[in-house]
Chain A
Amino acid sequence: GENVEQHPSTLSVQEGDSAVIKCTYSDSASNYFPWYKQELGKRPQLIIDIRSNVGEKKDQRIAVTLNKTAKHFSLHITETQPEDSAVYFCAASGPPPGANSKLTFGKGITLSVRP
């Protein structure tokens, strides 16, 4: 099955700096890669996703890049703000209705933005 590795496990940046979170996946059939942000005690919120037919996607201060050959994808947050502090999860899945169509999550990274 799919295996998603996420690193680093914690990241601390100064407000205004950029943050980059990297994930790798193992199953070359995976074609969908979402990123979720989870604040303490809250639900995971989808912040951006990318499909395997594109290499990069951007939404305001957030961008995701995908390298299918190397099987890794990254989340980029620019001009970080204290409210960006949360746990971020990457995930990967294949197309439904296959066995790999369920999301496999990374372990999560705790991002702390220092004011």
Chain B
Amino acid sequence: GAVVSQHPSRVICKSGTSVKIECRSLDFQATTMFWYRQFPKKSLMLMATSNEGSKATYEQGVEKDKFLINHASLTLSTLTVTSAHPEDSSFYICSARKAGGRKKAETQYFGPGTRLLVL
């Protein structure tokens, strides 16, 4: 299988605080992980691509200093929402792409998501 976990599943925080979300590939190694944001009844919006051992690549319009991404190992990437504001409230989902294997390299497996509410 290809299982991706996310922690926490739900978090409520006060405005101005920082929140860290972890994304783990449990049974495979992932050289690349992706972070998405999803608004209610909307599609997945890619925020950034996280590559193990290198800096993340952010999509246009996403503030890299606000959404800090660290991909410390082949099984873990973290997203830190710094100085959170109510408009950062959203559903954040990560996905992981399997390392190696040319045919299956494109397949992405999604985590269960983290619902962030900033008061």
Contacts and interface: CB of A to CB of B under 8 A. Distances in A.
| Residue from the set B42, B44, B105, B112 with the largest chain A CB neighbour count within 10 Å | B44
Interface string A88-115: 0100010110000111011110000000
A102 B32 CA distance: 10
Given A105-B43, A105-B44, A93 B106 contact: yes
B113 to A, nearest CB: 6
Contacts of A42: 112-113
Interface in A25-50: 32, 34, 36, 41-46, 49
Interface residues of B, number: 21
A90 B113 CA distance: 19
B37 to A, nearest CB: 12
B93 interface: yes
Contacts of A36: 110
Contact of A95 (B44, B46, B106): B106
B110 A89 contact: no
A43 B111 contact: yes
Contact of B44 (A32, A34, A89, A93): A89
Contacts of B105: 95-96
B67 interface: no
A51 B102 CA distance: 12
Contact of B108 (A34, A41, A106, A107): A34
Interface of A: 32, 34, 36, 41-46, 49, 51, 89, 93, 95-96, 101-103, 105-108
